[in-house]
């Protein structure tokens, strides 16, 4: 996996982060087309409401690679996405 990322602290309460991941298998199985798992892009922002309470919202998209496709091409692959909401209380 290769995963570069960049973050930006907009102000003391708000931080925005973007990550890109490229995933590849060590070996290609004989029943698979390729050793490429896929690629993923994540963008999320965290806002500190109080000293011990923060809110995070994020979005992720995964482009599925050919590792999950068989050599005959009979499996239908779709890309995946997710939306995340998180409220964190630390004490």
Write down the pTM of the prediction.
Answer: 0.78
Question: Tens digit of pLDDT per residue, the chain (91 long)?
Answer: 888 999 999 999 999 999 999 988 877 777 767 778 889 999 999 999 999 999 999 999 999 887 877 777 677 788 999 999 999 999 8
- Please state, as a whole number, how many other Cβ atoms lie within 10 Å of the Cβ of residue 37: 19
SS3 assignment, position 67: helix
Give the integer Cα–Cα distance in Å for 13 and 10: 8
């Amino acid at each position: 996996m290769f995963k570069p990322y960049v973050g930006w602290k907009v102000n003391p309460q708000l931080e925005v982060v973007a990550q890109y991941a490229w995933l590849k298998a060590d070996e290609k199985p004989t029943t698979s087309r390729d050793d490429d798992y896929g690629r993923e892009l994540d963008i999320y922002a965290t806002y500190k409401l109080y000293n011990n309470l923060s809110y995070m919202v994020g979005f992720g998209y995964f482009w599925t690679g050919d590792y999950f496709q068989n050599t005959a091409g009979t499996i239908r692959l779709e890309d995946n996405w997710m939306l995340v909401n998180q409220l964190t209380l630390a004490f």
